[in-house]
Amino acid sequence: MTMDMSGGGFRPSINVARLESSPLAPVLREVQRRRATGEAVLDLTGLGSAEPPSRADLETLTAALKRPDGADVAVEGTLALRAAVARHLSLRSGGRPVNADHVVVAGSAHQGIFAACFALFGPGERVLVPTPSWWGVGAAVRLARAMPDAVPGDEEWSLKVGRGELDRAADLRTRGLVLSSPVEATGAVYTAAELATILEWARERDVRVLADESARMVHFGSGPAPSVLDLPDDLLHDTVVVWTTGAVEAGLGVATVVASTDLARIIGRLQAVAAGGAPPALQAVAAELLADERFEEQEARRVALARKRRDLVVQRFRRHLPGVEFVEPLGGYGLFFRVDGFFGDEVWSGVTFCEHSAFEGYELPVHGDHTRGPCEEKGWDDVLLGLLAAA
C-alpha cells in the first residue's frame, strides 16, 4: 500500500475546514530567522522571551519527576493543585468560597478556552466576541458549531465594550459572550464596575460568559487585574473563568478552568476525551509554587519584566512616532495602534503594514489581524509586538 503525502487531493471534514493558523507563527519564524543570522532582535510577542525558571523551580521539577506516585492522575488535575488554586483564588477575591470541585487543570489557557467553549456553546448559537481579541477564540467557538460575532470596542474607551455595544450586537440567538481582561490584543483592563455592568447585562439576557483572565496577574496597576470572581454570586451563573497559575511563560505553569461544580465535571470529562490532563510533574511544581510564600515575589518579578518591556515600546512610540494613536496597555503583553497613517493610502491593515517595516532607523515588523471586521476597517491593528530590532 502506498500513500500520496502531497495532500493535493485531501478534503478536510467540515469540522476543521475553516480552521485558521496562528497569526503569531510568521512572527516567531521571523524572530528565529533573524537571530540565526546574528541580528539582535527583541521578541515582544510574550511567547518566546520569558524570564527563565529559577534554580529552585527546576529543582522542584526534578524532584517531582522522580516521584513514582505521579504517573497517573485524574484528568481534571491533582487534588493538591486544585485545592491550591481554589485557596489562592478565594484569598484573591476577598474570601469567596472557591473549592477544588470548581477547578479543572488544563495544559494551557488555549486548551482551557477550547474546552469551555465546547461546554458552554452549541450549534447555531451566537457568541459575542469583543474585538480586538485573541484569534483562537473565534476558532474555538466555530469548532463548537456556534457562530462568533465580533463586537468592536469603543475607540474612546480603549476599544473596550459596554452595555451599549453588547445591546446593539445581540439578538434572540445570542447565547454566549467571551470576555478577556486584560485584553491580549490591546492590554486594556476592565474595571470592577465595568465587569459588573457586563455580567448584569449577561444575566438579564440569559447569556453564558467565558471570562478569559489568563493574563490577570500581569497587571501594571495595584495587584492583579479586577476579576469576575470579585463580583457577587448572583452575577456568576453559568460563568466560566480561565486563569493561569503563573510562570506559564517559563514552562512551569498550568492553566485552570473555574466553574460551578456540575459544569467543572463536564469540562473535566470533555478534557479526558479531547486532550488529557496536564503533565503530573508540572502540576506538582505549580502546586508547590502556589503554596510557597515566595510566590508573590516571583509574580512581582514577572510583572516587572513585562512592565519594562511595555515601557520600552511605549517610550519608543512616543519618541519616534508622535501622533500615532495606540491603546495605553495596562496589563498583558500587547500594544495596539493605528496603521492607516503609514505610507499613505496603501497601508490600511496589519497585513500590508507588515510589508513596510523600515522607518525612523528601526525595523518594526508587525503581525496581527486580530480585528477581522469593523475595527480593522478603521485602521487599528494588533502589534503583540512581533519584532523590535534595534538600530
From the list 26, 124, 9, the residue with the least C-alpha distance to 355 is 26
- DSSP at 279: P
User: What structural domains and CATH numbers belong to the chain?
Assistant: 25-51+297-389 (no CATH), 55-293 (3.40.640.10)
**pLDDT score for 350:** 61
One-letter amino acid for residue 370 of the chain:
H
pLDDT under 50: residue ranges of the chain: 1, 46, 48-49, 71, 357-391
Q: What share of the chain is helix, strand, coil (3-state, %, to 5)?
A: 40, 15, 45
**pLDDT score for 339:** 75
**pLDDT score for 383:** 37
Q: What span, in angstroms and rounded, lies between the C-alpha atoms of 302 and 296?
A: 10
SS3 254: coil
From the list 245, 317, 328, the residue with the least C-alpha distance to 284 is 245
**pLDDT score for 153:** 92
**pLDDT score for 325:** 87
From the list 326, 332, 327, the residue with the least C-alpha distance to 307 is 332
Which grid cell is 177? 459572550
> How many other β-carbons are positioned within 10 Å of the β-carbon of residue 162?
16
Q: What span, in angstroms and rounded, lies between the C-alpha atoms of 340 and 190?
A: 26
Residues 6+ apart with CB under 8 A from 304: none
Instruction: Tell me the residue length of the chain.
Output: 391
Dihedral sign computed on CA atoms, order 387, 388, 390, 391: positive
Which grid cell is 200? 448584569
pTM over 0.75? The answer is: yes
Q: What are phi and psi of 165, to 5 degrees?
A: -65, -40
22: left (phi over 0), alpha (psi -120 to 50) or beta: beta
Strands 336-338 vs 239-244: parallel, antiparallel or unpaired: unpaired
Detail the DSSP E strand segments found in the chain: 41-43, 103-106, 126-131, 147-152, 174-180, 208-212, 239-244, 255-258, 336-338, 358-359, 362-363, 380-382, 387-389
Q: What span, in angstroms and rounded, lies between the C-alpha atoms of 35 and 273?
A: 39
Residues 6+ apart with CB under 8 A from 179: 130, 190, 195, 198, 209, 210, 211, 212, 228
Q: What span, in angstroms and rounded, lies between the C-alpha atoms of 254 and 287?
A: 10
Residues 6+ apart with CB under 8 A from 105: 76, 77, 78, 81, 82, 85, 254, 255, 256, 277, 278, 283
